[in-house]
Amino acid sequence: MKKLAPIVLLLFFFAQLSAQNISDLESFEKAMKPGTQLTYDVTNKDLHYQLVLTIKKLGDEISFDWKTTAPDNKSGTVTMNATATGQAEALQNNFKGGTAALTNETSIWISKKVFTTIASTAQASIKMNGASDTVTVMANTIGEYNFNLDGNLVAVPGWEMQGGGEPKYTIDILESTKFPILYKVDMGWSMVLSEVKGM
């Protein structure tokens, strides 16, 4: 009986962690609405700045305004139509300024098709640098990602996808069927989600 006690305690610990993750995921999904801000810390060679997104519209079509802090100091708007959010297999990571209307790429989000493929096969073929890029097969491992949500540190389950040559591409995705957003990107430059702030 004494030998079983540590196993029971361990199972209880993991059950508590799982319950906390579900609670944090639900809190994240509840916070995602028009007006919510997402802040990413960006590193590009010697440059360090933040990318701040403000959600304008959610649903089959998604749009957000964005701006970068000094020394980058750019701004723009991204809109993804229903075809992009539903079927796109390419990521657009170009935040050079202006308006982008995406029909066969997604930005910050992954499409429902890519999400479903990862969930069922643990891998996906993604064009990492836009629709004209060649396909990179990305393999999945399970992760957990921490960021600040309305002043509280949360832990949300997700996937780490890696693929390509050397250096490898890495993207981390929050495992939310409603809002499958990128938590982290590492492609020779990197960005990582540090805060989600509701209205």
Q: Which domain holds residue 178?
A: 4-197
| DSSP state string for 8-60 | HHHHHHHHHHHHHHHHHHHHHHHH-STT-EEEEEEEETTEEEEEEEEEEE-SS
Considering only 12-16, 89-93, 167-171, which range has the smallest mean pLDDT?
12-16
Our CA angle for 84, 171, 145, nearest 5°, is 110
The type of residue at 159 is W
For the chain, how many structural domains are there in total?
A: 1
Q: What is the pTM of this model?
A: 0.87
Q: What is the pLDDT of residues 122-132, one digit of tens each?
A: 999 999 999 99
d(CA 112, CA 85): 6
d(CA 109, CA 180): 6
What number is the average pLDDT over the span 67-71?
97
pLDDT confidence bin for 60, thresholds 50/70/90: very high
Q: What is the pLDDT of residues 24-57, one digit of tens each?
A: 999 999 999 999 999 999 999 999 999 999 999 9
